[in-house]
């Protein structure tokens, strides 16, 4: 396996150079099951686990490897050791709520994210939904491309209407119309998938993501395949493959979390999806205008004049509020963690004095 065919490029090479002489080899995470990873290196496919040192220095779940990651590995046997995750070019994460709220990376180093909407009578296609997905893809740092799937179910005029509606929210983002079923238009998708490119699909359930991936692979994706029955310790481990190689040399990441992304991140990605609102905001009287009820708000002015579509404006506010709520949850988590840490430290100090008084 030549690394460049797996998406290795200067961005990763530069980081790797710092480790030259360390004996570590680069590999890409193609599957994950619990804390066992499947990795591809220049010499083959192996199972891997993070080292003890890795666990020790990891600040949270987000530091752990995810599908798509480039990692540096040690060892030659069947179970390699992950010593480091190289910086990610793009990453999609979610807040995993549990006892503590933790950011969990779902997949990384995705170049193109296809946003899939389906045209079956329009039920699975809304401009508001597409806007929302555009924000999330911007957020992750991948290139968004819109796929309008199931065009086989539409008449010529319906197709034109859908394309017009999609383009009106897409901005510069390409809009492709295809049918995963008949294969119509799929050459436009394939045209974007050249050697070394990593793509993924997101969009509402039922839009046809699996059908599109199967069409590209020319076979049905094995979602639950058992790959390695035993590792060095003789334990039974089954990693689920989530990164697939296409014949073209491109790759597709298909992992459940990517199918249900939520807006999460900074307002820059929001502004990139709603450029006319971001531009208008520069004319607001207050620099911290929330565009909801302030006097001198240029956004509200344009909405009232109809120059900014009201539904689009509403969606902007809704997504922004959702993002702010997640941010608040995150900082709440930070506060609780700091509190726990301070408590632990004060206990250590107390014990130290107790021990030394004697």
Instruction: Please give the structure tokens belonging to residue 36.
Output: 């066992």
Smallest distance, Å, CB 332 to ligand GDP?
Answer: 33
Distance CA 268, CA 87 (A): 21
Q: Which of these, 13, 186, 7, 194, lies nearest to 107 by C-alpha position?
A: 7
Which residue's CB is nearer to ligand GDP, number 141 or number 208?
Answer: 208
Residue with tokens 């070394």: 196
CA-atom Rg of the chain in angstroms: 24
Among 104, 126, 195, 210, binds ligand GDP (CB under 6 A): 210
Binding mask 119-158 for ligand GDP (x = CB under 6 A): ------------------------------xx-xx-----
Q: Which does 45 bind (CB under 5 to 8 A by kind): ligand GDP, Zn ion, none?
A: none
Of Zn ion, ligand GDP, none, which one sits near residue 95, judging by CB under 5 to 8 A according to partner kind?
A: none
Contacts with ligand GDP in 151-190 (CB under 6 A)?
152-153, 179-181
Of 107, 117, 207, 308, the residue at the interface with ligand GDP (CB under 6 A) is 207
Site size for ligand GDP, by CB under 6 A?
A: 14
* CA angle (85, 213, 67) in 5-degree steps: 10
Torsion angles phi and psi, residue 143, rounded to 5: -85, 120
For ligand GDP, the closer CB: 207 or 280 = 207
Q: Which is nearer to ligand GDP, 24 or 212 (CB)?
A: 212
Using rule CB under 6 A, residue 208 touches ligand GDP: yes
Q: What's the angle, vertex CA 214, arms to CA 208 and CA 216, rounded to 5? A: 105
Single residue of 137, 189, 258, 289 touching Zn ion by CB under 5 A: 289
CB 7 within 8 A of CB 28: yes
Those residues with Cβ within 8 angstroms of residue 38's Cβ, 6 or more apart along the chain or in another chain: 29, 30, 31, 32, 45, 46, 47, 48, 227, 228, 239, 241
What are the structure tokens assigned to 87, written together?
């910086």
Contact call for residues 51 and 81 (beta carbons, < 8 A): yes
Site for Zn ion in 293-312 (CB under 5 A): 297, 299
Closest distance to Zn ion from the beta carbon of 171 (Å) = 21
Q: Which residues bind ligand GDP (CB under 6 A)?
A: 149-150, 152-153, 179-181, 205-211
Q: Which residues bind Zn ion (CB under 5 A)?
A: 284, 289, 291, 297, 299
């Amino acid at each position: 396996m030549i690394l460049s065919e797996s998406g290795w490029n200067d961005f990763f090479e530069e980081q790797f150079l710092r480790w030259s002489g360390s004996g570590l080899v680069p590999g890409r995470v193609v599957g994950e099951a619990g804390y066992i990873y499947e990795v591809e290196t220049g010499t083959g496919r192996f199972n891997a686990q993070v080292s003890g040192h890795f666990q020790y220095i990891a600040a949270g779940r987000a530091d752990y490897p995810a599908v798509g990651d480039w990692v540096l590995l040690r060892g030659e046997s069947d179970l390699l050791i992950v010593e480091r995750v190289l910086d990610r070019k793009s990453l999609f994460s979610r807040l995993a709520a549990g006892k503590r709220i933790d950011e969990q990376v779902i997949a990384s180093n995705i170049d193109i994210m296809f946003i899939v909407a389906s045209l079956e009578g329009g039920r699975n296609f809304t401009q508001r939904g597409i806007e929302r997905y555009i924000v999330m893809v911007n957020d992750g740092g991948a290139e968004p491309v819109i796929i309008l799937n199931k065009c086989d179910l539409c008449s010529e005029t319906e197709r034109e209407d859908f394309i017009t509606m999609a383009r009106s929210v897409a901005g510069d983002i390409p809009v492709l119309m295809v049918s995963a079923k008949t294969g119509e238009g799929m050459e436009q998708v394939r045209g974007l998938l050249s050697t070394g490119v990593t793509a993924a699909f997101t969009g509402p359930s039922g839009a046809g993501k699996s059908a599109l991936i199967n069409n590209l692979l020319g076979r049905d994706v094995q979602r639950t395949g058992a790959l390695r029955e035993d590792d060095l310790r003789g334990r039974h481990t089954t990693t689920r493959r989530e990164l697939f190689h296409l014949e073209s040399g491109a790759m597709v990441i298909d992992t459940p979390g990517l199918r249900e992304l939520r807006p999460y991140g900074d307002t820059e990605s929001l502004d990139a999806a709603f450029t006319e609102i971001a531009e208008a905001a520069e004319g607001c009287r207050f620099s911290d205008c929330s565009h909801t009820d302030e006097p001198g708000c240029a956004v509200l002015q344009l909405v009232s004049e109809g120059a900014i579509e009201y539904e689009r404006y509403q969606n902007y506010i809704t997504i922004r509020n959702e993002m702010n709520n997640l941010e608040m949850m995150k900082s709440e988590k930070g506060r609780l963690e700091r509190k726990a840490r301070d408590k632990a430290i004060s206990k250590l100090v107390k014990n130290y004095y107790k021990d030394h008084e004697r």
